[in-house]
Amino acid sequence: MNNQMTAPITGHDFLTLLDFTPAQIDDLLALALKVKQEPEQFAEALKGKSLGMIFENASTRTRVSFEVGMTQLGGHALFLSPRDMQIGRGEPIKDTANVLSRYVNAIMIRTNSHETVEQLAEHASVPVINALTDAYHPCQAMADLLTVYEQKKTLKGLKLVYVGDGNNVAHSLLAAGAKTGMDVTVASPAGYEVDQAIFEKAVAAAKETGAVLTQSNQPEEAVKDADVIYTDVWASMGFEAEQQEREQHFAGFQVNEQLASLAKADYQFLHCLPAHRGEEVTAEVIDGNRSFIYDQVENRLHAQKAILLSLLTTI
C-alpha cells in the first residue's frame, strides 16, 4: 500500500468503487490509515468547508461518522432531510443540485434509487458522495477494506465470503475485491443473488487485479477456507414487508459457529450493522473473538475522512 497519494480524486464524485482505479483505491486506504494514526495532522484541512448531507432514510453510523468527520477536519456538516427541503415537495433534482452547489463544497446523499445520486452528480458542480443507494454502499466498503487490511496486512489474494442477500453491500464488496485483488464470493439463496449487470461489471474490472469473483447458492461450500466472513440483514431497508418470507428462504444461510468453523481459524467476521442476532448471525459469532464489527464502525469515520480529504483537497 502506498504511503503517498499518487492518484488524487480531487473534484471527482464518489458514487461506486468501480469508478476508480486500483491505484486510487489503494491511495484512499493509505490516506485513511494515516488519518487514523495522525488525526492532528488534518485537524484544519477542511477549515471553512461545508458538507451538505441529504438523508431520505434513517441513519446512525452514516450521519454520525460524516458529521464528526467534517468537524474533526475543521469543516462543517449540515443535516438535510427531505421534509426540510424543497426536494421533499417535488423540486427537481437538477434544481436542488444547482442550489446546494452554490452553498456547500460537497454533497453527501443517502437515498433509495441509485439513479437519484447519478442525477445529482450530473447537475452538481461540487463533488457528490454516495452514502448508500439500492445499488451500492461504497463508503461502507472502504471501511471494510480498511478493517481487513489492519488485521491481515494485505488484501490481494484473501478470500472474503459474503453470506446473505445480494444487496448493495454485496455489490460494493464485489467492486472492492475487483479493485484490490481480493477474491470475493457471494453466497445467496436462489432468487436473491446480486444484480447480474453489476456482477459482470465487477468481473470485468477484476481482470486488472486478478481477483476471482464468484457466486454460490451453497454457503458451506463457499465459506470453506475463507479469510473473512461477512453478512447483512436478510430484509434490508425497504424490504421489511418480506421479512417472514425471507426468513424461510434464508434459513440455511445463517452465519453460526458451525458454518464459521469451515473458514480459516483466524477468520474475521464482519457485519455492516444494524444486526439481528439470531437471524442472519448468531450472538456467539457476532459477539465472539473473531468479530471485528466495532472496528468496522470506527473505520467508517476514518475512511470517510480520507474520501472527503481526497475530494476537497490536493493531499
Residues forming the annotated binding site?
A: 59-62, 86, 110, 137-140, 168, 232, 236-237, 272-273, 300
Catalytic residue among 114, 171, 246, 300: 300
CA distances from 12 to 71, 125, 143, 300, 305 (A): 22, 10, 19, 20, 15
Catalytic residue among 272, 296, 302, 304: 272
What's the grid cell of residue 47?
477549515
The pair phi, psi for residue 269, each rounded to 5°, is -105, 130
Instruction: Look at residue 22 and give its three-state secondary structure.
Output: helix
Catalytic residue among 140, 215, 254, 268: 140
Residues 6+ apart with CB under 8 A from 282: 254, 255, 256, 257
Residues 6+ apart with CB under 8 A from 210: 156, 181
Q: Which amino acid is at 125?
A: S
What's the grid cell of residue 80?
438535510
| 4 has catalytic annotation | no
Across the beta sheet with 159-163, the strand order is 213-216, 183-187, 159-163, 228-231, 268-271
Q: Which of 13, 18, 12, 14 is nearest to 171 (CA)?
A: 18
| 89 has catalytic annotation | no
| 272 has catalytic annotation | yes
Known binding positions for carbamoyl phosphate: 59-62, 86, 110, 137-140, 272-273, 300
Alpha helix locations (H) across the chain? 22-37, 61-72, 93-101, 114-123, 138-152, 168-180, 196-206, 219-223, 243-249, 257-260, 283-286, 293-312
Catalytic residue among 24, 110, 134, 296: 110
| 218 has catalytic annotation | no
| 271 has catalytic annotation | no
Known binding positions for L-ornithine: 168, 232, 236-237
Q: Which of 255, 267, 174, 186 is nearest to 227 (CA)?
A: 267
Catalytic residue among 13, 134, 227, 232: 232
The pair phi, psi for residue 149, each rounded to 5°, is -60, -40
Q: Which residues are catalytic?
A: 110, 137, 140, 232, 272, 300
